[in-house]
């Protein structure tokens, strides 16, 4: 059963609002990094890279929602929507940016884990190598792909690629909102159906699940380590283990929670879509799918906005810098008026 147009219209509005908020929040994160020297360190630079990926996702989802809004004025039957250049282009960029976002999220967790627990600031000690590895994993890996060779030496008959190969093989396109929100992703024209599901895993869902596991593990270990150190010394701060860390960098321990809360609904909807509905989901599936679709349309586009809340609004250094500059501006404005 396809979502009703009332649900789809609600999802479109939510997606457009969420994407707009993320573009606003993401630009402010980047602006704070550029204008406030006190916050610039390795982890904040990685946050800027993550924000760029999230901005591309938000803008892509915005384009996808606008496309659906335009198409619904011509036909109310979502199954009649077919691939077009806007759809395929949007699917490519959001596939790439989502994968890139997952990689940067893991890299931030890994850098903090090494810096706090092992007291290793890799960016400071091996600057060029770390730059190459970070950007290689963060940008090149999500775009490029390769064939996988398994233990028996047999090459799978399907190239296990990511964004560029998915585009070249014609796997990206209109999906009819099946297990996704108001945007294009894996084409519904892929046959047989299990191949479509495989490409969903390859181009995003597997990376998302890995991100859940890795970031939760690393940040929970960081939190446990911090608590143990504070039992010994109540004044313990991350900045005492690494000079390039700040007190407010502990906010990153909550990053995995944001990822979970925002993306959980899409993951639930993804798996729920593949269960036989004649079982326990038969009666409740349409309602659950509609609710989860609206939550998914919000969460999939909202990461940059909530990162802005966590890393700018909740960051004391950023707040003080903004208030200080606002005070200086008001003083300047008063002196101009008096003169």
Q: Quick: pLDDT tens for 149-178.
A: 334 433 333 334 478 888 888 889 888 777
CA 201 to chain CA centroid, Å, is 16
Q: Please state, in angstroms and rounded to a whole number, the distance separating the CA atoms of residues 204 and 180.
A: 11
Could you give the CA distance from residue 252 to residue 112 in angstroms, rounded to a whole number? Answer: 9
| pLDDT(99) > 50 | yes
pTM equals 0.85
* Rounded distance between C-alpha atoms, residue 35 and residue 42, angstroms: 16
Residue 125: what pLDDT?
A: 46
pLDDT band at 193 (very low <50, low <70, confident <90, very high): confident
Report all structural domains of the chain as residue ranges with CATH numbers, in order of start: 5-333 (1.20.1070.10)
Structure confidence at residue 288 (pLDDT): 85
What digits encode the pLDDT tens for the residues 127-146? Answer: 555 565 666 666 666 655 54
Query: Does 249 have pLDDT greater than 50?
Result: yes
- In whole angstroms, what separates CA 10 from the centre of its chain? 22
* 185-186 and 172-173 strand pairing: antiparallel
What is the average pLDDT across 24-36? 94
pLDDT at 147: 43
pLDDT confidence tier of residue 301, bands split at 50, 70 and 90: very high
Report the chain's C-alpha Rg in angstroms. Answer: 22
- The total of other beta-carbon atoms located within 10 Å of residue 187's CB is 21
Which DSSP string corresponds to 298-311?
A: HHTT-HHHHHHIII
**How far is 302 from 27, CA to CA, in rounded Å?**
13
Each residue's pLDDT tens digit, 196-229:
888 899 888 998 999 999 999 999 999 898 889 8
Confidence of residue 59 (pLDDT cuts 50, 70, 90): very high
**C-alpha 275, offset from chain centre:** 26
Highest mean pLDDT among 65-74, 153-162, 271-280: 65-74
Task: Provide CB contacts within 8 A for 333, sequence distance 6+.
Answer: none
Q: Which of 23-37, 68-82, 160-174 has the lowest mean pLDDT?
A: 68-82
């Amino acid at each position: 059963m396809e979502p009703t147009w009332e649900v789809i219209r609600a999802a479109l509005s939510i997606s457009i609002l969420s994407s707009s908020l993320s573009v606003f929040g993401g630009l402010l994160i980047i602006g704070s990094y550029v204008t406030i020297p006190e916050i610039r360190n390795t982890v904040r630079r990685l946050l800027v890279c993550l924000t760029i990926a999230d901005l591309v996702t938000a803008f892509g989802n915005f384009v996808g929602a606008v496309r659906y809004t335009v198409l619904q004025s011509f036909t109310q039957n979502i199954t009649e929507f077919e691939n077009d250049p806007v759809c395929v282009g949007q699917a490519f960029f959001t596939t790439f940016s989502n994968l890139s976002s997952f990689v940067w999220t893991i890299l931030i967790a890994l850098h903090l884990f090494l810096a706090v627990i092992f007291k290793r600031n890799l960016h400071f000690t091996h600057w060029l190598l770390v730059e190459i590895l970070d950007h290689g994993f963060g940008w090149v890996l999500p775009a490029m792909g390769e064939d996988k060779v398994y233990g028996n030496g047999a090459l799978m008959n399907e190239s296990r690629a990511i964004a560029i190969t998915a585009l070249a093989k014609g796997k990206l396109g209109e999906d009819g909102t099946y297990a996704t929100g108001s945007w294009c992703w894996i084409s519904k024209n892929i046959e047989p159906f299990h191949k479509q599901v495989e490409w969903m895993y390859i181009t995003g869902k597997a990376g998302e699940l890995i991100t859940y596991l890795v970031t939760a593990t690393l940040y929970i270990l960081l939190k446990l380590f911090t608590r143990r150190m504070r039992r010994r010394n109540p004044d313990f701060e991350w900045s005492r283990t690494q000079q390039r860390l700040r007190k407010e960098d502990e906010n990153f321990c909550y990053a995995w929670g944001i990822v979970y809360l925002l993306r959980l609904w899409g993951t639930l909807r993804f798996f729920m879509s593949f269960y036989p509905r004649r079982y326990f989901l038969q009666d409740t599936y349409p309602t659950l799918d509609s609710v989860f679709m609206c939550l998914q349309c919000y969460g999939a586009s909202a990461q940059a906005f909530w990162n802005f809340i966590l890393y700018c609004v909740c960051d004391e250094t950023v707040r003080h810098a903004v208030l200080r500059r606002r005070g200086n501006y008001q003083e300047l404005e008063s002196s101009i008026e008096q003169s």
